[in-house]
Structure 1
């Protein structure tokens, strides 16, 4: 679990796909899932108008009303999901990379997989604003 603070206040947590913790939504696991399977679950919930799912510029699905963005993490067996969540105060537009409250360093790594894509961010040669920090995964 990774925790982010602003002025001493916890505002964002991110589960690690390997070490957890397991995060669920209506009994559906969100941590360490096959991205395509979780994507279908979120699309179905959106189609049934249970959740208002949107996709950020890097293709990550999320629910602004819940302060939830689902990222992917590379593990030994492939790529699995890892939920990143912010509190209600920061939930508005959390899927938006520019205006949302998800820390930029949580956007580093593999992009959400779509058929035929294998991209990652940042691209080679990009200098991130957070200096020498490296993601723990």
Structure 2
């Protein structure tokens, strides 16, 4: 059950969608140019998080309000689904969508925990328990 939180106004949701659209536009090149699907997904998610950090409202919606507001959750799920579809279309080595969804959910949960705790944004290239760790050590890579 989604917990209650003040509903984001339509302008905030529209701005959040624009942030996701900007990230998605860059994702194709990031995914295609990567040596593996894991590296491509990592680059796309890192670009998303970097963009979100520059927009605190989008960061809050993506990682916190998504668990409390159905409209925000739907927006995030659409973004996840189109990112996974892009990965499948552009990479011969892409995992099945369920595996990709599992990894993205783990990444999201890890980042949400850090943000809710008020932790300093992690150095995503080095921090333990962030998506770089999850992608390469936290889940099986077989299809």
Structure-2-length-normalised TM-score: 0.30
Q: Which has the higher strand share?
A: 1
Q: Which of 1 and 2 has higher RCO (CA within 8 Å, sep 6+)?
A: 2
Structure-1-length-normalised TM-score: 0.30
Q: Which has the higher helix share?
A: 2
